[in-house]
Amino acid sequence: MIALKVERPMIETQEQLKESTVEFINELISENYAQDDIYEFIAEHGENDLVQYYVKYVEIGESYSYRAVDIFIEEFGIDNVEKFEDAFRGGGYASKADYAEQFVSDCYCIDLPAFIEIDWETTFDNLDCVYVDGFVFDTQF
């Protein structure tokens, strides 16, 4: 599933925002959230999504990585960010085949003779997962 990315203009001043959004931003800043990051999020996702998803976005970004959560949002949409932890299968994989081989060896006790070759890429394609930039996400969350 690919979410369409809508280009949004940068927010230059708080006057461009609803009063309730400004109040929420001030709350976040008082809790030590970075103001520049808040406005970048608004520019990327809009002010409604700021109120609804920003705290969870930061929590996940700090716990896992912002790159991982950004990729997840690009694939599944900001409205699914709370399902990130259910979908995240890991990062740092060099390929889909690397993930598939790791997954099979972690989940199944298979001792195959060395002469048997497995198409790990096709095995990955049979899993309900997506691979993007080293990160793997289960699509059945």
Q: How far are the Cα atoms of 35, 66, 120, 138 from residue 124, in angstroms, in the given order? A: 40, 25, 6, 11
What pLDDT shows up at residue 16? 81
Q: Is residue 39 part of a domain?
A: yes
Q: Considering 53, 69, 88, which residue would you say is the last residue of a domain?
A: 88
Looking at the predicted structure, is the pLDDT value of residue 113 above 90? no
Full residue range of the structural domain in which residue 72 is found = 1-88
Q: Are residues 4 and 69 in the same domain?
A: yes
What share of the chain in percent tops pLDDT 90? 79
Half-sphere exposure of 68 (CA within 13 A, CB side): 22
The predicted model gives 106-119 an average pLDDT of 86
Question: Does residue 71 sit in the same domain as residue 19?
Answer: yes
Q: How many domains does the chain have?
A: 2
User: pTM value?
Assistant: 0.82
The shares of helix, strand and coil residues in the chain, as percent rounded to the nearest 5, are 60, 10, 35
Res 38 pLDDT > 60: yes
- Is the separation of the CB atoms in 41 and 57 below 8 Å? yes
Average pLDDT, the chain: 90
Give me the pLDDT at residue 9, please: 44
Q: Is residue 141 part of a domain?
A: no
Residue 140 lies in a domain: no
The predicted-structure confidence for 40-94, as pLDDT tens digits, reads as follows 999 999 999 999 999 999 999 999 999 999 999 999 999 999 999 999 999 999 9
